[in-house]
Structure 1
C-alpha cells in the first residue's frame, strides 16, 4: 500500500537542514522556479516543496529519520544489478549500466536479451574490462557500476534483459527500443489539409438512442460527416466513469483511462436484445416510454439513462451467457480472449464496479476506494478476492460491458475508414483519474494520493487550477518499467486514427498541489520526458495513430520544440493566438504541424463568446464576484471582438454586409461561417470545428471552475443527427470549408 502520511502533522524540524531538503528536491525533480504564462520568473516556496516530498513518502520531521530513509533507498538501488527499464531510440547506441560487487567484477557475467519475437542474444563479459562509471560502498562492500555495450541492432519493441553470473540469476529488466518520431499519415505527409468535427459523444441526439449519444450515433455521424468532406471526428474522453454514480459525469475525471464508458453502448445492437425475456422486461417496465422522455430532455439525465441501460443490459447478459457462454462457442472464445488480454486491469475495474454497486445498494458510502470497508481498500487484498469469487457472475457482467463497448467502438472506427476518412476517429486522453478511481485502487503505489494535479495561475485560470486528480509518482512509474503508461497509450490508440493528449505538458512536468492547499501553492514535478516520448512514438507507430498534444497554458518553448521533433502536432486555438498589440494572428501563420480550432470544451460557443454569455453565466454562478474585474473582462472582450473583425475583414473572410465597427455587429450566420472558413484557409494540417458552432448553439458544455453551479458535461446538441446534414446551410458551410482546405493544401 502507498504511504499515507499526515502532512499537516509533519512540519519539518529545525535540525532538518535546508541543504538536505534542497538536495532531495533536486533529486526528486521538484522545481524551484519557473517562467509563468506572462513570461515572468516565479519562485516556488520551500514549504510547498516539503509538502510534496511528504506526499512522495519522505519523513520530513527530522534529519535523522530522513537520512535513514535516503540511505535505504540508495542501498536498494546499488543492490539491483540492472535498472528497472532502459529506453533507447533506434539510432542510439545501446549501453546497459550494470552494478556488481567488487568481488564479482572479475567474474564472467552474461547479459541476455530476449526480443518480443522470442529470439535470444547473449553477451558474455567481465565487468572489470568494461567502462567503470561509479562506485559505492554498501554495508562495507564496494559495488561498482559499469557500462556494457550492446552491438546488435534490435527492432522496435519491448524486450527483456537478464543478468546472470554462471547459473545464478542476478537481475532482470526491460529494454525498450523506440522509433525516432510518432506516426504521420501519408496524406498529411504529402501536404493534405484536413478538417473534421469535434463532439462530446454524450451530446448527440437521435431519434433512436436512449437519451445519450452512443456508438451507433457515432457511426451515423462519421458516415454523414465524411460525405461532407470531413477526414476525422474527434471525441471527448470516452473513458470509464462510475456505474454506481452516473451523475459523476466529467469525462476528465474518470475511474479508468484504459476502459470505456459503458453508457455509450447501443443496447439494441447487441445479440440477444431481441430475446423474449428482454422484450418482456421492456414491456412490463414501460422502458420504451421512459426512453422517449429521456430523449426529449435538453440535458443528459445520467441517472435515468444508467437505470434503463444497466437493467436491460443485465437482462441481455443473462440471455447471452446462457446462449453462448455455457458451451464452447465462438462468442465464448472471443470473450475469453478479450478478458485474458485485459488482464488485471480489466478484472480490477469489474470487481471495483461490482463492489461499488453492492455498497450503494446497501446504502453504504461508496464514492470511491477511500470509503470502502476495511479489508477492501486495495484491489489485491484477500477479502476482495473472496468478494470477486462470490460475485463472479456480476464481475463477468462488467467485463462483458467492456467487451461490447470495445466491439462497438471498433465498428465505428471501421465505419469511419470505410467512409473514406483519412484519419477516422481520434480520441482524447485525460490527464489523470479521480481520487476514488478503480485505476488508483488497483495500483496505489503508483499514485501520490495526498496531491492533486492542476496548473499555476495563467490566462485561463488567474487563480490557478486544481483538478482533483492524484498524479503518478515518476519514480514509481520508472520502477514499474513504465508499464502503466504503455498500457494507457496502447489502449487509447487502439482503433483510433489519432490521439489528443490533454495537457501534454504532463509528459515533461506536472503542477502538484497538496489537496488541502490553494491551486497557486504548488510546484512543478518533472517526469522522464525523453523516455515517455519514446514510448509514445513506439505506440503511435504500432497503432498508426497520429498524436496531438494540447500545449496550452504555461509551456516552455523548449518543450514545444521537443514535441515537434518527436512528430507530435501542436494545438492552436484561434482566440489564444493573439499578438502583443491585441491583433489576432492569421491561421495562415500557424505551424503546419498543428491542429487548429476556434473553441474548446472549456470555452464558450461562438455565439456565447460574441454575446458575452460566458461572462453573464460566470457572474450568475459566482466566478466573478468583483464588479471591477468583471468590467475589465467586458472591456477586454469588446476590444478582442473589434480585433477579430479587423482580422476577418483584412483577410476577406467576411463581406461588407458585416460592419467593421463592433458596436453594430452581433453574431449571425454570416459571421459564424466567416470565422470557420477563415480558419479553413490556414496552414495547420488539421482543423477541428465544434458541431455546436455549426448549429449556432449558445450554452457551453462546461464552465471551468464550477461543480454543481452549472450542469457541466450534460448539455445535448440542439438538433437530432438525422436532421443536421439535411440542412442546406450546413451543407453549404461544409462545402466552403472543404474548398478552403483544398486551396490551403495547394498553396
Structure 2
C-alpha cells in the first residue's frame, strides 16, 4: 500500500497520529489503526487503484461545486466566502443573493476574478480557479441561504450561511453572579407510591415542585432519549435509538385523558394487571420488560379511545397532533416506522434487535419495501407517533412546573454522545455514520483498559456535506422543555476516539471534527431556546479545548474527586472556575458511600476490570491517600464537625461526613452545583459500571426510598437549607 498516500489522507481526514494520554505522556496511533479508520470512512485502503480513483473523484467533485455546502460565521465577523469556477467563467458577472431566515433578500453583483485568487486546479484539461469573495451583506443571527445566480437570475449554486452569536446563552441571574444548586437523577430510578415501577414525568413534576420548595434551582436528568419499545432490555440511556425523540416509558399513563374511563379502569384494576404492577413496583431493579408491557397495554387502549373521540375532524387535539407530526418531519416519521417495524419482526419471530439483522429490503428507511410497510401498518405507526406526542406534552408540563416555582433553570437535560449501532437514527441516515467503527475512550483513570461504547460515529465530512443539519436538529430538539443542556463527552465537538470493529479500545485513534462550526451552532441554538450549556469535559482533554469552550460560554464540568493538585491535595471548590458546574460524583462513579468504603474497587475486582492485582493494589493505595487528603481539606475549611476523626483509618462514611462534603461544595465558586439524589439517601450501589454490559445491572438500580418520604425527612430538609444558605453566601463573595 502507498504509505505516502495513506498519510496524506490521514491528515486530510483529521485522524490524529500523536496525542497526549490521560497521564500526560506522549502516545502515538499505529499505522494499521489509521488505515482501519480510513476504511471505516469508506476508503478502499487495501486497493491502491480504487483508492486513487476515489480520491480523484472527490477532488473533481469539490472543484466542480462552486460554493461550499455550509459556512459558519460569528455575528460581526467579516463575511468571506470561497467561489470556484472554470477559468472561462471567472470574468463574467453574477449575483450573490442572500435569502435570510427572517425573510429578507440581500443581493450584490460580483465578478469572481476581482476577488483574491487562492487556488488553481486542472480537471481534464480545464483550469479551475478559486477566489475569496467579500460579502457586503450583514445578516442577523440565523440560518440563511446564499445563492450564486447568473444574469438571468437562475441559481447556479447554493450554500447555507449560518450566523451565530459569539457565546452561549446565560440567564440574567447567572450573569449577575447568583449561584444555583440542584439535584441530578436517573429518571427511571425514582420510586413513588403512584408510578408503575419506573420513574415517570408525573414523578418529575412532583420532584421539581418539592425540590423547589427546598431551595433547589434545577433538576438534572439522565438522557431521556428514545430507546426500543420492542426491545426493553436495551435500556442504556447512553445507547439510544434516537437522540432527537423521547423514551415513551416515562409517560405518566394515569395522566392521559380517558384513563379514568370504565374500560381502562376495568383493565388496570384486574387481578392480573395489579399483580404485575405490584411486581414492577417492588423489585429492587427496574424490570423494563414488565413496565413496558404494562404501559403499552394501557396506552394501546387509550390510543384507540383518542382515535374514536379526540383525534377526529377539526378538534383541538387533532390539530395539535397533526402539527406535532408536521414539525417532527421525516425524523419523527422514521422513528415511529422503525418502532413499528421492530415490533412486527419480533411478533413474527424474526431477528429484530436492529437494522443490521433486518431483511435486506427493510434495512434502510428509504427503500421501497419500507414505504409499503408504512402503508400497511399506518395505524401502528400512528400509535408510536402518538406516544412521542404525549411524551413531549408531559415533559413540557414538567418544565412549566419548574417555571411556576421560579427555579431559575428548572430542568437540565443530558445529550448522549451517540446512538447505538442498531438505532433508528442510523437506519434513517446511514451515509452519515461510520458503521465500521465505534466511539470510545483511550485508557484513563476511570477505565484502565479503555472503553468501546458501541456507538458508530458521525463522519465529519458527511456531516459537513449535509450542511450540519443533523447537528442543528440534535441541539434544537434537546433544548426543548428545559433551561440547561449538559453535553455528555463534550470533547466530541473537537475529536472522538474511533475504534474499528473487532479492535480493542487501546487500538483506537482520534478523529477531529469542525469544532468552531459546531460551537457556533451550539451557541445559536442556545440563544434561540434560552438554554444554558454545560460541557462534560472529563478524561483526556487538551487544555486548548477547555479554553475554547470557556470562550464560547460553555460551562465546564468539575468533579470534586478529580480536582487534585500535583501534591495530591484537593483543590478547594472556592478555586473552581466560575463558569462551571461542580459535582461530587457522576453516574459513572461510585456513590459517596461506595467511594469511601472502596466498594467500587471490590466490585471491579469481581468483574475482572483490572488487568492485574498490582494495578488494583495501586488503586487501593491511591484511594487511601485521597481520602486522607479529603479529610484534611474538610477539617481545614471547617466543613465537618471537629469530633469527626482526623485519621482516615478511623473514619467511616457517616451522615455528618456526607452532608459536610455537600456543604463544602456549596461554598465553592462554580455557578452551578449538582448533587446526586442517591447521595442524599446515602446509597452504596452505583448506577453504572463503565466497561461492563451484562456483568452488572447498569441503568436499572432504583432509589431506596419513595419520593414522598424524601421530602418529609427532617435531616434532608436541614441539608437543603444548608445548601441554599451556602450558595447564597458564595454568590455574595
Q: Return the TM-score normalized by structure 2.
A: 0.99
437, 443, 459: which one aligns with 2:423? 437
2:76 matches 1:91: yes
93, 105, 122: which one aligns with 1:120? 105
User: Gaps (5+ residues) in structure 1?
Assistant: 1-15
Cα distance in 2, alignment partners of residues 60 and 512 from structure 1: 17
**What corresponds to 1:322 in structure 2?**
308
How many pairs were matched up? Answer: 732
**What corresponds to 1:50 in structure 2?**
35
Cα distance in 2, alignment partners of residues 50 and 629 from structure 1: 32
**What corresponds to 1:7 in structure 2?**
none
Cα distance in 1, alignment partners of residues 79 and 618 from structure 2: 57
CA contact (8 A) 2:81 2:133 kept: yes
**What corresponds to 1:4 in structure 2?**
none
List aligned pairs for 1:209-358, cutoff 5 A. 209-284=195-270, 286-358=272-344
74, 93, 105: which one aligns with 2:59? 74
572, 583, 608: which one aligns with 1:597? 583
Which digits, 9 at most, give the CA deviation of each residue in 1:653-672, with x for residues without a partner?
A: 11121100111100010010
Is the alpha carbon distance of 1:538 and 1:625 closer, same or farther for their aligned partners in structure 2, counting shifts above 3 Å?
closer
**What corresponds to 1:534 in structure 2?**
520
Moved over 3 A (4+): 283-286
CA contact (8 A) 2:108 2:136 kept: no
Which digits, 9 at most, give the CA deviation of each residue in 1:154-177, with x for residues without a partner?
A: 110001111122334211111100
List aligned pairs for 1:290-689, cutoff 5 A. 290-624=276-610, 626-689=612-675
Which digits, 9 at most, give the CA deviation of each residue in 1:518-573, with x for residues without a partner?
A: 10101100000000000000000000000000000100100100000000000000
Tell me how far 1:326 sits from its aligned partner.
Answer: 2.6
Which digits, 9 at most, give the CA deviation of each residue in 1:357-397, with x for residues without a partner?
A: 00111111100000001200000100001001110000010
Tell me how far 1:278 sits from its aligned partner.
Answer: 2.1
**What corresponds to 1:21 in structure 2?**
6
Cα distance in 2, alignment partners of residues 611 and 324 from structure 1: 56
User: Gaps (5+ residues) in structure 2?
Assistant: none
- Secondary structure of the 1:286 match is helix
Cα distance in 1, alignment partners of residues 435 and 4 from structure 2: 27
CA contact (8 A) 2:310 2:318 kept: yes
Tell me how far 1:626 sits from its aligned partner.
Answer: 3.1
Tell me how far 1:629 sits from its aligned partner.
Answer: 2.6
132, 139, 143: which one aligns with 1:147? 132
Which digits, 9 at most, give the CA deviation of each residue in 1:92-134, with x for residues without a partner?
A: 1111211111111122111111111221111122112222221
Cα distance in 2, alignment partners of residues 630 and 360 from structure 1: 43
Is the alpha carbon distance of 1:628 and 1:130 closer, same or farther for their aligned partners in structure 2, counting shifts above 3 Å?
closer
Which digits, 9 at most, give the CA deviation of each residue in 1:595-626, with x for residues without a partner?
A: 00000001111111111111121122222463
With 400-409 and 273-282 compared, the bigger mean Cα shift is at 273-282
List aligned pairs for 1:654-733, cutoff 5 A. 654-733=640-719
Cα distance in 2, alignment partners of residues 508 and 627 from structure 1: 36
Which digits, 9 at most, give the CA deviation of each residue in 1:209-265, with x for residues without a partner?
A: 011000010000010101111001000000000111111100000000000000000
CA contact (8 A) 2:448 2:610 kept: no
Cα distance in 2, alignment partners of residues 462 and 617 from structure 1: 15
Is the alpha carbon distance of 1:632 and 1:390 closer, same or farther for their aligned partners in structure 2, counting shifts above 3 Å?
same
**What corresponds to 1:178 in structure 2?**
164
- Secondary structure of the 2:169 match is coil
Cα distance in 2, alignment partners of residues 646 and 87 from structure 1: 49
Tell me how far 1:136 sits from its aligned partner.
Answer: 1.2
CA contact (8 A) 1:48 1:523 kept: yes
Is the alpha carbon distance of 1:105 and 1:214 closer, same or farther for their aligned partners in structure 2, counting shifts above 3 Å?
same
Cα distance in 1, alignment partners of residues 618 and 7 from structure 2: 41
**What corresponds to 2:185 in structure 1?**
199
CA contact (8 A) 1:182 1:538 kept: yes
- Secondary structure of the 2:156 match is strand
**What corresponds to 1:746 in structure 2?**
732
CA contact (8 A) 2:342 2:352 kept: yes
44, 47, 65: which one aligns with 1:59? 44
With 256-265 and 608-617 compared, the bigger mean Cα shift is at 608-617
List aligned pairs for 1:99-118, cutoff 5 A. 99-118=84-103
Cα distance in 1, alignment partners of residues 390 and 79 from structure 2: 42
CA contact (8 A) 1:203 1:213 kept: yes
CA contact (8 A) 2:449 2:611 kept: no
CA contact (8 A) 2:197 2:277 kept: yes
Tell me how far 1:285 sits from its aligned partner.
Answer: 6.4
User: How well do the aligned residues superpose, as a CA RMSD in angstroms?
Assistant: 1.1
Q: Return the TM-score normalized by structure 1.
A: 0.97
CA contact (8 A) 1:619 1:625 kept: no
